[in-house]
Structure 1
Amino acid sequence: MSLWLDFLGVEIRYVKTRNFGTIRVAEAGAHNERAIIFQHGINGHFEAYAKNLIPLSKHFHVIAFDFVGHGLSSKPDCEYTPMMLAEQLGELMDAMGIAKAHLSGESLGGWVSALFAVRWPERVDRLMLNTAGGLPIVTEKGRQDLKHFIELNKRNIDNVPSYESVQARLHWLMHPDNHHMVNDELINLRLGIYLQPTSRSVLPRLNEILAHHDDYLIPLEKLPQGTLFLWTEDNPIHDMETVKAAHARVEGSLLYVMKGLAAHWPQYEQPEEFNAVATKFFTDGSVA
């Protein structure tokens, strides 16, 4: 199925913020009272949530967006950090008139969501950390996974991105049984974004976020009670030992491990399961 059939019924627009330029936004279910804001991973874009917005818009006002420096949002000439992106999230919420929302982020998006929830808890309803970055790594395997990920990203930074380099990056995101989902449309979409001159100039600075991973760790003890860690057995970064250790440090937190085969993009690889879990969690705070 085409991404644009998945997005049928989604409004795509650009929202002006005070200090971060224009942000590309995908939105559905605006008539619903409760909002969920979805946030993508590093070097990503909001199409990561193509399979979630319309199904979840039956019950929620759902929003996904491109971080600054990513996708088709503005790419200011500045230092990029997870905390800077959390500030951008706050400005986007202000510009859209959203005082408080549920947050769900994968990878970098989960990292940013967590930092936002710690800094501005009054603006967050429920928090889902989906294969999130920013957790203290507790195993040597976890360290090697992070090193491998940095090297994989550099293939699209130190050289001109190619179909093959982008395909390798997307294959890393997904379980081997789901590699058929990495089709020409998805590869060429991301390649087209990476080849833009503004993207080429900012990609090295985005990769610095990973190089300084431990400088911006999530203060786990300050996360809200009821935080949900949504993980996969085959997550290629931040392994199960790491998330279990983090879960143990957050009072009243929940850990849900996907039953369907998925790696780093469970919301895309297993959308029916993900959407069911998200609906339950953002409705009543449980995953049972």
Structure 2
Amino acid sequence: MALSYLHLFKDKSMSLWLDLLGAEIRYVDTKNFGTIRIAEAGKGNPETLILQHGINGHLEAYAKNIVPLSKDFHVIAFDYVGQGLSSKPVREYNPIMLAEQLGELMDALGIEKAHLSGESLGGWVSGHFAATNPHRVLRLMLNTAGGIPIVTEKGKQDLETFIGLNRRNIDNTPTYESVQARMHWLMHPSNRHLVDGELVDLRLRIYLRPESRAVLPKLNEILAHHDEYLIPLEKLPEGTLFLWTHDNPIHDTESVKAAQAKVPGSILYFMKGNAAHWPQYEAIDEFNDVALKFFRTGTVG
């Protein structure tokens, strides 16, 4: 037993708690969105970087990045309202409403301006926030973001597949297997070992909470109305970074190239390491290096 326990600490992929050592986990009250769970590190650094997770997710999606990025930035990751361990009012959800929540969280924390990085839904929300609140955004990274036009038939089929995987955890009582299948979809085939027992059990326990069960159908509707809430790409700031992978589902390489072409002065970077939808979790060192350089300098080269 002792040898097995020691092995957990030698394998850096084995514990989210080890990844988050040095970060503070706490709850913040907002004006209209209830209590929001955040992870915070690097207090005292002059510039803030806010990291935002994907749909039906939680802040641990950035467990591998919060502390490493805090050497240069005041880093905050949080659970969107209705997700993770934040408040879960049963109401209509969409990316514009979640962008309003982001603004209220920044207000509650006394943050006037911040760098934004969001994956999937997090990028979708970040794009809407940046388009409507340009004065509050320093630099913007859209990390395998949702909310851009899907231009290929494969991408459209991927969206239907993902909606179906989500429904397995909504229409039925979630199980270890159904949650694992949904999370495997996020990963490059060579990285599915990263979907370990701790990560699956964490998400399963969140999904099984009665308040989560009540709100999950509302969250899945965000995907069903994807094209009604596209990011206004023409309003994104010059210098926006599209950080992508060649194996990202739904919003594939052709879709991101078409979207990036609509944002003057923007940057498109494809991850070199194996990654699909969670590059920040799958190719950790590369992601952190690119993020640090981009948010310091506005470049990735």
Query: What band does the TM-score fall into relative to the shorter chain?
Result: over 0.9
Q: Shift of residue 175 of structure 1? A: 0.6
Amino acid in the other structure paired with 1:76: P
Alignment partners' CA distance in 1, 2:292 and 2:153: 35
2:237 equivalent among 217, 224, 246: 224
Tell me the secondary structure at the aligned position of residue 249 of structure 1: coil
1:203 alignment partner in structure 2: 216
The answer on 1:151 being equivalent to 2:182 is no
Q: Shift of residue 270 of structure 1? A: 0.7
The answer on 1:81 being equivalent to 2:94 is yes
The answer on 1:121 being equivalent to 2:134 is yes
The answer on 1:93 being equivalent to 2:106 is yes
Alignment partners' CA distance in 1, 2:155 and 2:190: 22
1:25 equivalent among 38, 46, 49: 38
Alignment partners' CA distance in 2, 1:143 and 1:18: 37
Q: Normalization by structure 1: what TM-score? A: 0.99
On the 8 A contact 2:244/2:269 being kept in 1, the answer is yes
Q: Shift of residue 34 of structure 1? A: 0.5
Alignment partners' CA distance in 2, 1:152 and 1:73: 23
1:247 alignment partner in structure 2: 260
2:176 equivalent among 163, 167, 176: 163
Alignment partners' CA distance in 2, 1:145 and 1:220: 22
1:262 alignment partner in structure 2: 275
Q: Shift of residue 77 of structure 1? A: 2.1
Alignment partners' CA distance in 2, 1:220 and 1:274: 23
Alignment partners' CA distance in 2, 1:86 and 1:271: 26
Amino acid in the other structure paired with 1:162: T
Amino acid in the other structure paired with 1:151: G
Q: Normalization by structure 2: what TM-score? A: 0.95
Segments ≥4 residues shifted beyond 4 Å: none
1:177 alignment partner in structure 2: 190
Alignment partners' CA distance in 1, 2:151 and 2:248: 15
Worse-matched range after superposition: 138-147 or 87-96: 138-147
Alignment partners' CA distance in 1, 2:81 and 2:127: 18
The answer on 1:274 being equivalent to 2:287 is yes
Deviation by residue 1:3-50 (Cα, 9 ceiling, x = unmatched): 000000100000000000000000000110011000000000000000
Tell me the secondary structure at the aligned position of residue 194 of structure 1: helix
Alignment partners' CA distance in 1, 2:203 and 2:250: 21
The answer on 1:130 being equivalent to 2:143 is yes
User: What are structure 1's unaligned runs of at least 5 residues?
Assistant: none
2:74 alignment partner in structure 1: 61
Q: Shift of residue 254 of structure 1? A: 0.2
Tell me the secondary structure at the aligned position of residue 185 of structure 2: helix
| Paired residue total | 288
2:204 equivalent among 188, 191, 197: 191
Q: Shift of residue 76 of structure 1? A: 1.1
Tell me the secondary structure at the aligned position of residue 135 of structure 1: coil
1:139 equivalent among 152, 157, 170: 152
| Cα-Cα RMSD | 0.5
Alignment partners' CA distance in 1, 2:247 and 2:149: 18
Alignment partners' CA distance in 2, 1:222 and 1:93: 21
Q: Shift of residue 78 of structure 1? A: 1.2
2:10 alignment partner in structure 1: none
Alignment partners' CA distance in 2, 1:247 and 1:20: 32
Alignment partners' CA distance in 1, 2:293 and 2:76: 18
Amino acid in the other structure paired with 2:150: I
